[in-house]
Structure formats: C-alpha cells, structure tokens
C-alpha cells in the first residue's frame, strides 16, 4: 500500500487528498470503460444500464456536495 507522510498543514492534507481523489477518478474511468466493453458484448442485458444508473446517481450526489 502506498504510504504518505502525515500532513502538517491543511494545504498538505488538501494536496494529498486531491491526489487520492484524482487517482480514484482515473480508476473509475478505467472501470467504466471495462464495463462498457462487457455491456457491448451483451447488449440485451439491462443490468449494465442499471449499473450506470446507480453510478450516475452517486456522481450527481457528489457533484451536488461539491457545489
């Protein structure tokens, strides 16, 4: 696991958390791309659309929180 130094200032904590958030967003993009490939291989499966509906709902909540 990647260990980081304990932040000593709010700015340090912000930078560390921003890096973590950016890494998670990149991971999410890769997982959504892989999900799209599975969905393309099974176009009649409504489950994939449902999955993205849930992802959209959670992302909308996050976007509203960040306003």
Instruction: Indicate whether 2 pLDDT > 70.
Output: no
Q: Return the pLDDT at 18.
A: 98
| pLDDT tens, position by position, 8-47 | 999 999 999 999 999 999 999 999 999 999 999 999 999 9
Mean pLDDT along residues 45-53: 98
Question: Both ends of the chain: CA-CA distance in Å?
Answer: 32
- Is 5 within a domain? no
Rounded Cα distance between 34 and 39, Å, is 9
Mean pLDDT of 55-66: 98
Distance between CA atoms of residues 11 and 17, nearest Å: 10
In a domain, 21, yes or no: yes
**Residue 5's pLDDT is what?**
82
Within-domain flag for 1: no
Q: Domain total for the chain?
A: 1
Question: Is the pLDDT score of 50 beyond 80?
Answer: yes
Query: Do the domain assignments include residue 18?
Result: yes
Domain that holds residue 26: 10-65
């Amino acid at each position: 696991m990647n260990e980081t130094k304990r932040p000593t200032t709010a700015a340090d904590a912000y930078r560390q958390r921003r890096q973590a958030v950016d890494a998670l967003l990149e991971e999410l993009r890769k997982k959504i791309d892989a999900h799209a490939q599975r969905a393309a291989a099974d176009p009649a499966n409504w489950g994939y659309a449902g999955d993205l509906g849930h992802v959209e709902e959670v992302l909308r909540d996050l976007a509203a929180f960040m306003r």
